[in-house]
Amino acid sequence: MINKVKDSCDALIIVTVFFKTIMTMKRDEQIHRIQDREKIWDFVVIGGGATGLGCAVDAASRGYQVALLEQDDFAKCTSSRSTKLVHGGVRYLQKGDVMLVLEALHERGRMKANAPHLVKNQSFVIANYTWWDNFLYFCGLTLYDLLSLGFGYGHSKFIRKESVLHRLPAIKEKGLKGGIVYHDGQFDDSRMAVNLAQTCIEQGGVVINHFKVSEILHDDQGKVCGVRAIDKETGKLYELKAKAVINAAGIFVDEVMKLDAPGHKPMVKPSQGVHLVLDMKFLQGQDALMVPKTSDGRVLFAVPWHNRVVVGTTDVLRDHPESEPRALEEEIDFILKTAGLYMVPAPTRKDIISVFAGQRPLAAPKKEGKSAKEISRSHKIIVSDNGLITITGGKWTSYRLMAEDTVDKAIAMNLVEKRKCITKHLKIHGWRQDPDLTSHYYIYGSDEPALHQLEQETDKYAEKISPKYAYTYGEVIWAVRHEMARTLDDVLARRVRLLYIDAQEALNVAPKVAEVMASELNMPESWVEEQVKSFTAIANNYIVER
């Protein structure tokens, strides 16, 4: 009887999911919805990272007409390269930025409530080698708990040396005086981006990837009134008229601001952060390690993620923004050296399974010589003389609040009529309480039953793409059919995360995955060759020479 009820519930979920996603998350259908050149959109959003997708979801859920255009793939840039933390930012507390922490702690709670299938409670251990540090971090984290009252993930506590060793068997024992356990959130960033894109569509919005905004349109008074954009797959140009245009181009916001005003002076400085991906033997448990003060005065995390350990990060100002930045040798060496002070055995270059770099869009320092860690991490909304709204800075955790502020700004400018924000309690696509985190399928949330159904369609779809990992060809097909994956990189980097989990294995499976994608997308053999070539160029950035 119970099984029957469960089966019919699953069937209902499948039908609902099919209805919601099959009908909508198709690129050609989305493009069809922007054909009407006379239509005036309430919002056009430039950029499909956390910030742009947040804005599009906010606007669509308030009932506005919104179209989001992303030049590459959703979360292609910074939003797939984070430390994967949903956090208040313990280190900002060290700097006394209490309001920033308070704001982020509230958003941390909302993100877990709205996307419980992707955001999980993660315990962190700070291993201390002086009694003073035990006292200091206990006080600091108790304040962190107090600030998160009502939105908390769990209480911080002091633990004895034996307990630190039990939780972190690979931690250096010599001189250990105990530790502090505290809680934050952990998530899958690019999966969250895909789910936000789906949520936007379900709320009536349009989202399109591989679609670059090449011009900002101005009316007779010189005010921003839309964009011209190019479909990178066909080369076809489109024009979208809009009441408000939001520039959420991350590290590329200056380029978009130049499209609005050619004399615009750059205001964002990219700051690069690198992560190394290691085997779980360097943690050996489900607790994360937090190093509160590295030799350059930053924090370092070693966090379990998809059965690997993600260790990072660095903070190095760069001259130019890059969508595929490469880790610098000095960054790799710094992380290995710092991790080696705490982990036994110390990780070496040959232990690196993957390395990834991302760039933060930090507001450029007013004073020359300011280092990246001194620049404020809060978000900023800038309105140009012509009315282009630019949103920059902030972090993944605050994406919802940043979006609310940005849409409110357009209302305050009288560009659109007033409507109330509803995202504080808006469930994100895939919402599912208590996911089974032992299965790699948990990231699909409520889509999981429909995905399994698809895997049963043919023997091939049930087959694994690699003997070393559980990912199936069914997941590749799912990504193409229901998640707008268009390239090999879209699938292997941001739908299934194999590039991040094992860069060499991602390269090994690339030709076969490309073949399967080609048959689904109706692409010729030459497409397979091109895809493998361009993916190889990307993946080589994730492999460290030994």
Nearer to ligand FAD, 136 or 364 (CB): 364
Specify the stretch interacting with ligand FAD by CB under 6 A; choose among 83-91, 136-144, 195-203, 380-388.
83-91
Nearer to ligand FAD, 20 or 497 (CB): 497
Q: Which of 224, 229, 253 is nearest to 239 (CA)?
A: 229
Nearer to ligand FAD, 138 or 334 (CB): 334
Specify the stretch interacting with ligand FAD by CB under 6 A; choose among 77-85, 330-338, 415-423, 444-452.
77-85
Q: Residue 517 and residue 514: Cα distance in Å, rounded?
A: 5
Q: What is the CA radius of gyration of the chain?
A: 23
Q: Residue 268 and residue 266: Cα distance in Å, rounded?
A: 6
User: Interface with ligand FAD includes 109 (CB under 6 A)?
Assistant: no
Which residues 6+ apart lie within 8 Å of 221 measured at CB?
none
Complete DSSP assignment for 283-334: T-SSSEEEES--TTS--EEEEEETTEEEEE---EE-SS--SS----HHHHHH
Is 319 in contact with 372 (CB distance < 8 Å)? no
239: β partners: 228
Q: How far is the CB of 72 from ligand FAD (least distance, A)?
A: 4
How would you classify the pairing of strands 211-218 and 224-231? antiparallel
Specify the stretch interacting with ligand FAD by CB under 6 A; choose among 4-12, 57-65, 67-75, 122-130.
67-75
Q: How far is the CB of 164 from ligand FAD (least distance, A)?
A: 23
C-alpha dihedral, 427 to 428 to 434 to 438, nearest 10°? 180
User: Interface with ligand FAD includes 76 (CB under 6 A)?
Assistant: yes
Q: Residue 376 and residue 87: Cα distance in Å, rounded?
A: 16
Q: Which of 125, 123, 124 is nearest to 172 (CA)?
A: 125
Nearer to ligand FAD, 182 or 396 (CB): 396
User: Interface with ligand FAD includes 538 (CB under 6 A)?
Assistant: no
Nearer to ligand FAD, 182 or 252 (CB): 252
Q: Which of 287, 286, 303 is nearest to 339 (CA)?
A: 303
User: Interface with ligand FAD includes 122 (CB under 6 A)?
Assistant: no
Among 25, 45, 50, 230, binds ligand FAD (CB under 6 A): 50
Is 328 in contact with 274 (CB distance < 8 Å)? yes
User: Interface with ligand FAD includes 24 (CB under 6 A)?
Assistant: no
Name which of residues 314 to 343 contact ligand FAD (CB under 6 A). 323
Q: How far is the CB of 52 from ligand FAD (least distance, A)?
A: 5
Length of the chain: 546
User: Interface with ligand FAD includes 396 (CB under 6 A)?
Assistant: yes
Q: Which of 283, 409, 274 is nearest to 330 (CA)?
A: 274
Q: Residue 542 and residue 310: Cα distance in Å, rounded?
A: 13
Nearer to ligand FAD, 20 or 269 (CB): 269
Residue 359-378 contact track with ligand FAD, rule CB under 6 A, x = bound: xxx-----------------
User: Interface with ligand FAD includes 71 (CB under 6 A)?
Assistant: yes
Give residue for tokens 């024009």.
Answer: 239
Name which of residues 253 to 292 contact ligand FAD (CB under 6 A). 256, 273
Nearer to ligand FAD, 50 or 532 (CB): 50
Nearer to ligand FAD, 82 or 487 (CB): 82
Q: Which of 124, 136, 121 is nearest to 171 (CA)?
A: 124
What's CA 255's distance to the chain center, in Å?
22
Is 55 in contact with 174 (CB distance < 8 Å)? no
User: Interface with ligand FAD includes 395 (CB under 6 A)?
Assistant: yes
Q: Which two tokens stand for residue 482?
A: 């229901």
Among 252, 442, 444, 500, binds ligand FAD (CB under 6 A): 252
Is 319 in contact with 534 (CB distance < 8 Å)? no
Among 181, 208, 213, 510, binds ligand FAD (CB under 6 A): 213
User: Interface with ligand FAD includes 47 (CB under 6 A)?
Assistant: yes
Is 209 in contact with 73 (CB distance < 8 Å)? yes
Nearer to ligand FAD, 33 or 212 (CB): 212
Nearer to ligand FAD, 52 or 109 (CB): 52
User: Interface with ligand FAD includes 406 (CB under 6 A)?
Assistant: no
Specify the stretch interacting with ligand FAD by CB under 6 A; choose among 81-89, 122-130, 151-159, 287-295.
81-89
User: Interface with ligand FAD includes 313 (CB under 6 A)?
Assistant: yes
Which residues 6+ apart lie within 8 Å of 526 measured at CB?
none
Specify the stretch interacting with ligand FAD by CB under 6 A; choose among 73-81, 138-146, 430-438, 524-532.
73-81
Nearer to ligand FAD, 117 or 210 (CB): 210
# of chain residues touching ligand FAD (CB under 6 A): 41
Helix (H, G, I), strand (E, B) or coil at 231: strand
C-alpha dihedral, 286 to 479 to 520 to 508, nearest 10°? -30
Nearest to ligand FAD by Cβ — which residue?
A: 49
Among 42, 58, 72, 404, binds ligand FAD (CB under 6 A): 72
Q: Which residues of this protein are in contact with ligand FAD, per CB under 6 A?
A: 46-52, 69-72, 75-79, 81-85, 87, 212-213, 248-252, 256, 273, 313, 323, 358-361, 394-397
